[in-house]
Structure 1
């Protein structure tokens, strides 16, 4: 049973976390339930061809990935996390209600086409399209408000960061947040899509509206018990000031004498001397002339010429985590290969029984299922068992989890390359190499070991990175810290596209089939997967170098070659409350 040992006030704690996780889970369930089958709605109800519908959904997805960044910035610097999540809930609900109304009001859409087709005689009018875009825009903005702050707002409910009890509860929160979010996406990809196909759009779009109402109620009902930190100063402007001040003072020599007089720091700040790393930025907080640089109340007379030690250290912290952040992109690149995996699965035998066949597009759900199971096993089985064997609280360090995820991700691509080689040879042997739509006798269940490994890497790397960024960056940047992983996902999509472009550009010709040919049986996807595996192992070596250069995490956690995190015997009872 989980208790609340960290709190000295009735606000916050584990109870508040339940409402925050429920809000996020229900929102994801509703939004992904709408987006998964949206292409069918656009082609059947708005007369769009498949390409136009896909382009709209691409822009919708791009907006959904970008809005959390804006939301994080506004929450951290202006409005705070609680108002931002509340705004996101109301905006998302409004967008979903309006979208649901398009299924009820005939004038909101064109008459339905007789069947799905890339060409439909009925075309939507400009007002109908504008209303549709308005609905999707509201949903993107709302999702940005919720997802940008939900993780960080949950962490705000916990206190006493310097205790081992906090570290354990925080790790459990990050893990279960990821588990429940993945489970929500899994349910939306299966159950909600089935409801839309079986019961029609009115019911299929009405269910997400109900779920979003429950999500909104879940968040606002717990308002009295939330810890609601206020927004801090504009950190983005602060970073710009540090860079400008450092450049303006680039000819100043740095010394370490009389640090209290030499460096400018805020009242009550624990930092009075900047660190030695990235030392050239220290010039931004050097006091050259106290009478000219400082006002009578101790503030800087020109903030673009003199910054505080805290501002300098915040910029250093962000710069310091960028190399570690960059190593996670290739793990996300491997996750982005779902389109190619769908091609593989579509050529294989997907029958579970003689009458039931798993859709090729549903195999991605095995990745979500695998990562969810691994997170649950790690948090509820592996860690308690390891702690019991060692007789003390034991957990993998943050950098150990990230590194392990990268290594296993590269291994999963090597396994996939072997599976693809066997699949291709089977297709040639069965004489169907010229027909990529023909099904072979090889079972698609051979893909499960790959999903099993990639799910483990996601469980380690995804959770590890989120916790690492939140722990290492200043608390004033925690919303941005919780979105660094999402930024990595967006960057990974660009990297994946670049890799495919390079492969198609350099490994193809008149007499040579591209590795990623549209005919999967004639291409060499196994070579392509070996390339990704090689890049993955190279990334792991790069990560080892970055980890060593980074040094120990805050509190000495997570060296890649270091010991697992341990606590004193006095913390055993509090730690066991998580199990």
Structure 2
């Protein structure tokens, strides 16, 4: 997509990257909004259905930008001179961005509910599925299947775009989106469709409001004098001692006033149940661990730079065939799928056989391994770019960013492989942890909590890039993230991300110890 923005819409690398960062951020945040409405009001089936329709409309508009000449800037008079290129008008940018927005909203509807909708078809609760390892296996294969769709996009579709043009290149995803939506609707009668539960998210707000209203209420010196409100069929009669001030929301002050004749709360905004309080505590205790995914997502949100790097390197496999620059991210997806296969079908069965019992790494352990491997991937990326830039300068290509550096683009593969393994470990583990810890009625939201960190990571990546650009180009110097990658210092940019990743490793260690201590005490 960055190639389309720079070559067809004549945008600079910084502007193109910012658009893609914002698109990535909305792709991460809309699923969370969709998950709330899916769990609370709409239902998962209908949310996916709405998402299919909106995604299809967004794909149609993107395709129309290639079909309608007035929807995009006129071609450059002299392709070697950027000054001869006409910038896009406000209308043209708004038309293009409207397609991104519709696709993001549509993706929010589909991604927010698809994983939870699939879990519904298993017809079992998350805790029992986790004990048998079925939940981990389901999430692994869901992620692998999603990754395979990206492989198709990065190979088949990108090859068409490079060789047959943007009209056919954007027309193929349009047809695929139509077929996907059609197949989903045709199988409607076969699905298990769970009903939405509007009380869970509202219950969290009620706990916070009730705790605030009772902030001056003192705990009695004798714990036996405390009465807590709980559901008749609840196994929890007393809340835990963690985050104790929230316990005030379920304390009964006067049974005659606080409770109705049937035992329910007279006012749910002043008296909540123990289950509501404990569910909110679980969510709060997950927040520090969840936050470690934000810096990790910054590393995942670097789609532009590897494309520019690959475009300046030798991508030939044979004399007459070379891999498109945009397809090099396929190696990250392939490594993700390969790791899922290796872990689920070889490592786990072999370890279980040797130990004589089911052997699995905990979700928190896998999250930590993913963060550490992501740090290693940034070390590799920084080193490879420093070598590529040195070769480009040695070959006299400083002022020719489109010239081919005599260095194989396959030097970029180790970084992509490490990032793929990191994503397979961390993101799958995050989804498994959230879906198993949080209540079943929050399955859609639990499955998309990692999407929030991805969205915030995209925003943070944009802020980091803009800050580095503003600082480094001062005094007439060339920006580290210049459109001319041979003059810029992308290696320095990667070293900055490496340092942040190392900080994130230590931050995760602190958060994981705190989480384990909290769960043990509970």
Mapping 1:185-224, distance limit 5 Å: 185-195=150-160, 204=169, 207-224=172-189
Mapping 1:540-579, distance limit 5 Å: 540-551=505-516
CA contact under 8 A between 2:220 and 2:226: conserved in structure 1?
Answer: no
CA contact under 8 A between 1:414 and 1:533: conserved in structure 2?
Answer: yes
Match of 2:40 among 64, 77, 86: 77
Per the alignment, in what secondary structure is the counterpart of residue 442 of structure 1? strand
Per the alignment, in what secondary structure is the counterpart of residue 441 of structure 1? strand
Match of 1:242 among 207, 218, 224: 207
Name the counterpart of 1:575.
Answer: none
Shift of 1:326: 0.9
Shift of 1:467: 1.1
Question: Which range is displaced more, 425-434 or 482-491?
Answer: 425-434
Q: State the TM-score, normalizing by the size of structure 2.
A: 0.85
Match of 1:141 among 77, 96, 105: 105
Q: CA RMSD in A?
A: 3.6
Mapping 1:224-263, distance limit 5 Å: 224-255=189-220, 262-263=227-228
Shift of 1:194: 3.7
Q: Which is helix-richer, 1 or 2? A: 2
Shift of 1:189: 2.7
CA contact under 8 A between 1:260 and 1:273: conserved in structure 2?
Answer: no
Q: Tell me if 1:283 matches 2:248.
A: yes
Match of 2:30 among 55, 59, 67: 67
Shift of 1:294: 1.3
Q: In the aligned structure 2, how far is the partner of 1:218 from the partner of 1:387?
A: 39
Shift of 1:246: 0.8
Q: In the aligned structure 1, how far is the partner of 2:269 from the partner of 2:428?
A: 37
Name the counterpart of 2:422.
Answer: 457
Question: Which range is displaced more, 349-358 or 497-506?
Answer: 497-506
Name the counterpart of 2:397.
Answer: 432
Per the alignment, in what secondary structure is the counterpart of residue 146 of structure 2? helix
Name the counterpart of 1:411.
Answer: 376
- How many residue pairs get aligned? The number is 512
Shift of 1:434: 4.5
Question: Which range is displaced more, 290-299 or 423-432?
Answer: 423-432
CA contact under 8 A between 1:342 and 1:363: conserved in structure 2?
Answer: yes
Name the counterpart of 1:342.
Answer: 307
Name the counterpart of 2:321.
Answer: 356
Give CA deviations for 1:51-98 in whole Å, capped at 9, x if unaligned. 799988777665544432221111111122122223323444455567
Name the counterpart of 1:572.
Answer: none
Shift of 1:290: 1.0
Q: In the aligned structure 1, how far is the partner of 2:458 from the partner of 2:414?
A: 24
Question: Which range is displaced more, 531-540 or 110-119?
Answer: 110-119
Q: In the aligned structure 2, how far is the partner of 1:132 from the partner of 1:527?
A: 32
Name the counterpart of 2:432.
Answer: 467
Name the counterpart of 1:310.
Answer: 275
Q: In the aligned structure 2, how far is the partner of 1:536 from the partner of 1:66?
A: 22
Query: RCO greater where, 1 or 2, for CA within 8 Å and sep 6 or more?
Result: 2
Shift of 1:458: 1.1
Q: Tell me if 1:401 matches 2:353.
A: no
Shift of 1:140: 3.9
Q: In the aligned structure 1, how far is the partner of 2:221 from the partner of 2:120?
A: 36
**C-alpha spacing 1:364/1:279, structure 2 compared with 1 (3 Å):** same
Per the alignment, in what secondary structure is the counterpart of residue 345 of structure 1? helix
**C-alpha spacing 1:537/1:196, structure 2 compared with 1 (3 Å):** closer
Q: State the TM-score, normalizing by the size of structure 1.
A: 0.77
Q: Which runs of 5+ in 1 are unaligned?
A: 1-34, 557-579
Name the counterpart of 2:457.
Answer: 492
Name the counterpart of 1:154.
Answer: 118
